[in-house]
A and B are shown apart, each in its own frame.
Chain A
């Protein structure tokens, strides 16, 4: 089966840097996604890693280590609008189909 762990909640201050960790155990691994979800809204795609290493996209970066089953999302220069839930999702390939398994999400609260 699939198992994805991420912290339930984190708090940070505007302008700071925060790292949200995600660990996973899965079979048929085929990529890891991070999504952002504001309260009452749909999840929106942030980043994707399939090979080991760091992907940088503006203020957001995501890292993957496949051997450790570990990823993190790094948010720099935090803004109030970054207050949201961040979802780690692993894509796996089983029986010819690819599906996403989501972690429970990390609620990030950014304070002034």
Chain B
């Protein structure tokens, strides 16, 4: 089974602190993603990476940075945490490619999610 793990389930930090959220996957996936999930807003993509040392901005990258030094590990960094970054943070990973174009029995290259980190910034 694919396993995506995140360093903490719950985290409480103070405004202005530097925060590191770690994500590790054990399936040799090329792609890794960081999302935040907020009530009424759904899952929103912060950053993603398609290879070691490569990164791309998602829909809401402001206030965040990422690091991918090894294929299995993708870190999300809040340089100076603010209260509006209080949220549930979800990491995901997937194989590269679009998957099988067939509708049944195909390879979907779906994203697998970690358990999430609930971050509270006071």
Check B101 against A104 for contact (C-beta < 8 Å).
no
**Contact partners of B17 in chain A: CB under 8 A:** none
The smallest beta-carbon distance between A46 and chain B, in angstroms, is: 9
Give A86 to B99 CA distance when docked, in angstroms: 22
Size bin of chain A's contact surface:
20 to 34
Contacts known (A49-B103, A50-B103, A53-B103); A104 close to B115, Cβ less than 8 A: no
Check B42 against A42 for contact (C-beta < 8 Å).
no
Q: Report the nearest A residue to B42, measured CB to CB.
A: A104
Check B48 against A99 for contact (C-beta < 8 Å).
yes
Of B40, B44, B56, B108, which contacts A97 at CB under 8 A?
Answer: B56
Q: Mark A41-85, 1 if CB is under 8 A from B, else 0.
A: 111110011110101000000000000000000000000000000
Q: Is B111 an interface residue (CB 8 A)?
A: yes
Chain B interface helix/strand/loop/mixed:
loop
Give A91 to B101 CA distance when docked, in angstroms: 13
Q: Is B45 an interface residue (CB 8 A)?
A: yes
B→A interface (CB under 8 Å): 4, 33, 35, 40-45, 48, 50, 56, 58-59, 90, 98-99, 101-104, 106, 108, 110-116
Of A42, A45, A89, which contacts B115 at CB under 8 A?
Answer: A42
**Contact partners of A93 in chain B: CB under 8 A:** 98
Check B42 against A97 for contact (C-beta < 8 Å).
no
A→B interface (CB under 8 Å): 30-31, 33, 41-45, 48-51, 53, 55, 87, 89, 91, 93, 97-105
Check B101 against A51 for contact (C-beta < 8 Å).
yes
Contacts known (A51-B103, A97-B56, A105-B42); A45 close to B98, Cβ less than 8 A: no
Check B42 against A45 for contact (C-beta < 8 Å).
no
Q: Report the nearest B residue to A44, measured CB to CB.
A: B113
**Contact partners of B35 in chain A: CB under 8 A:** 102
Give A97 to B112 CA distance when docked, in angstroms: 17
**Contact partners of B113 in chain A: CB under 8 A:** 42-44
Check B108 against A87 for contact (C-beta < 8 Å).
no
Q: Can you list 7 A-B contacts (CB < 8 A)?
A: A31-B98, A33-B108, A42-B4, A48-B99, A51-B101, A97-B48, A104-B42
